[in-house]
Amino acid sequence: MTVDKTGAEVEIAQQADRFTISVEGTQVGFTEFADDEQGMRVFFHTEVDAAYGGRGLATIVVRHALDATRSENKHAVPICPLVAAFVGEHHEYDDMVEPVTDDIRQWLADQQG
């Protein structure tokens, strides 16, 4: 069981292009990604409803997303500033983080059309 800073139980779900976080059955945040053909998972946006701010929910969903990415033998590319800050402070992910390059930014822009 995962709980936030208030002790409320949270649930993480993986979808095709995002990980969502819910509190008491209500989705309150997510981190979005796109997978490329070389095994890179590009994280480009993370958001938590302002009404749920300060509860550590963004950290919980990002940590879970990175752990799942590792278990899928993918590497993470942190375009999202929140994900970049997280991996910058949590060096246990250093072995799976790839730098953001202009080529990756262009690939993502092409994917998002």
Q: Is the dihedral of CA 69, 70, 73, 76 positive or negative?
A: positive
State both tokens at 40: 């890179």
Would the pTM of this model clear 0.85, i.e. be above it? yes
Q: Which CATH number fits the domain that encloses residue 31?
A: 3.40.630.30
Domain count, the chain: 1
Q: Is 39 left (phi over 0), alpha (psi -120 to 50) or beta?
A: left
Q: Residue 65 belongs to what domain range?
A: 2-112
Per-residue pLDDT of the chain (113 residues; tens, 9 = 90+): 799 999 999 999 999 999 999 999 999 999 999 999 999 999 999 999 999 999 999 999 999 999 999 999 999 999 999 999 999 999 999 999 999 999 999 999 999 98
